[in-house]
Structure 1
Amino acid sequence: MANATQPTETDPRAFCDTVAHPGRREDALRLLDLFAQTTGYAPRMWGPTIVGFGQYHYTYASGRTGDWLATGFSPRKANMVVYIMPGYTDFSHILARLGPHKIGKSCLYLGRLGKIDEAVLAELIRAGLDDLATRWPVSA
């Protein structure tokens, strides 16, 4: 069974421009640039609400295969969801310097970007990509 969320042809900047909350829209546009600069990848929409950078193909021991974004974000109503930690490595030493956040299995939940250290976020994005690449080939 493959992942149901797939890349689309929607323009990521146009999507970010449609985010209803002005602060979340501003942060989404900032993240669009931060991720592009940090990863070197062009943004691509995954499904209707996730902006992804790079991708990888996985095959789990269970036989499940699919493609997924290597890193990215989604400006949700409650939080900015950042997909940067594939869930394999403990990045607590970087997270300790980030600022206010919550973490899920492979997601980072942020409030306003003005409350975090964006240089540390860039470091975390890079560390997550480097860690992912030790397990699955990452491509543009």
Structure 2
Amino acid sequence: MEIIVDSLEDTINIGKNLGSLANPGDIVCITGDLGSGKTHFTKGLASGLGINCPITSPTFTIVNEYEGRLKLYHFDVYRVNDPDEIEAIGFDEYIFSDAVSVIEWANYIEELIPEEHIWVEIRKMPELGINFRKIIIQYYGDRYNYIKELG
């Protein structure tokens, strides 16, 4: 699925829609350049999970936890230099739980991502204007058939 947006609000709303559909154990991987909207997408996803507190990027702490309809683990692995670093914090215990896990900069630890996941790529589109983004969402694994069927 590919969507072109021209505002932060649209990016947040797409995340919110995905969050409203999320099930326990879902894993959402987000990639994109600096400033592309990864954290805004995550803010929307959190809103869709019923989380009403401020969502901040855990760049220096690696993971933030939030409570909502489902628990959310929000990872930012931008500063992770070696996948062993993320494993040392108990990454598997987080992502193989009943929480929804969102991983910003997931391409940095791609070898640790389970087969079944949602991959979101956010691309800037400066040729159309400063706020334009292309959001590409791909679903990997049968567990996400319920979303694929919704179109």
Q: Same fold (TM over 0.5)?
A: no
Larger RCO, structures 1/2 (Cα 8 Å, 6+ apart): 2
Per the normalisation by structure 1, the TM-score is 0.29
